[in-house]
Amino acid sequence: MNFDRQEVGPEWTAVRPAASVDPLAAELARCQALGMAAQNNARCKAVWAENRSRFFTYQSRDSDTAPTLPQASAPKIEDQ
C-alpha cells in the first residue's frame, strides 16, 4: 500500500448566472461585492427596492398587469 498518494478530485467552482440575461441581477451582484459599503450606496438602495417590488408583486402569467384581488370582508359582530 502506498499512503503517500493523494487522490485529486475535480475542482468545484461557483457558477453565477449570466449578468447579460438580467441587468438587475448584475447590479445585485455588484452591490453584494461592495459588502457593508452598499448600505450607503443610493444605487444599491434603488436596486434592492426594485428587487423587493419584483418579489412581492403578483404578476399573472397571462397578462402584464397584476389582477385586482377581491377584498375579504370581516364578519359583522353584532352587539348583544
Task: Print pLDDT tens along the chain (80 aa).
Answer: 566 766 666 665 655 555 457 899 999 999 999 999 999 999 999 999 999 998 888 877 765 554 444 455 555 566 55
**Residue 35 is assigned to a structural domain of this protein:** yes
Domain tally, the chain: 1
Distance CA 57, CA 64 (A): 11
Question: Residue 40 sits in which domain range?
Answer: 23-56
Residue 36 lies in a domain: yes
Which pLDDT score, from 0 to 100, does residue 8 have?
Answer: 61
27 in a structural domain: yes
Q: Are 31 and 41 in contact (CB under 8 A)?
A: yes
- Interatomic CA distance for residues 54 and 66, integer angstroms: 12
Q: Could you tell me if residue 44 is inside a domain?
A: yes
Q: Considering the domain boundaries, does residue 33 fall inside one? A: yes
Q: Has residue 29 been placed in a domain?
A: yes
Assigned domain for 38 exists? yes
Question: pTM, whole model, 2 decimals?
Answer: 0.47
Give the pLDDT score at 16: 58
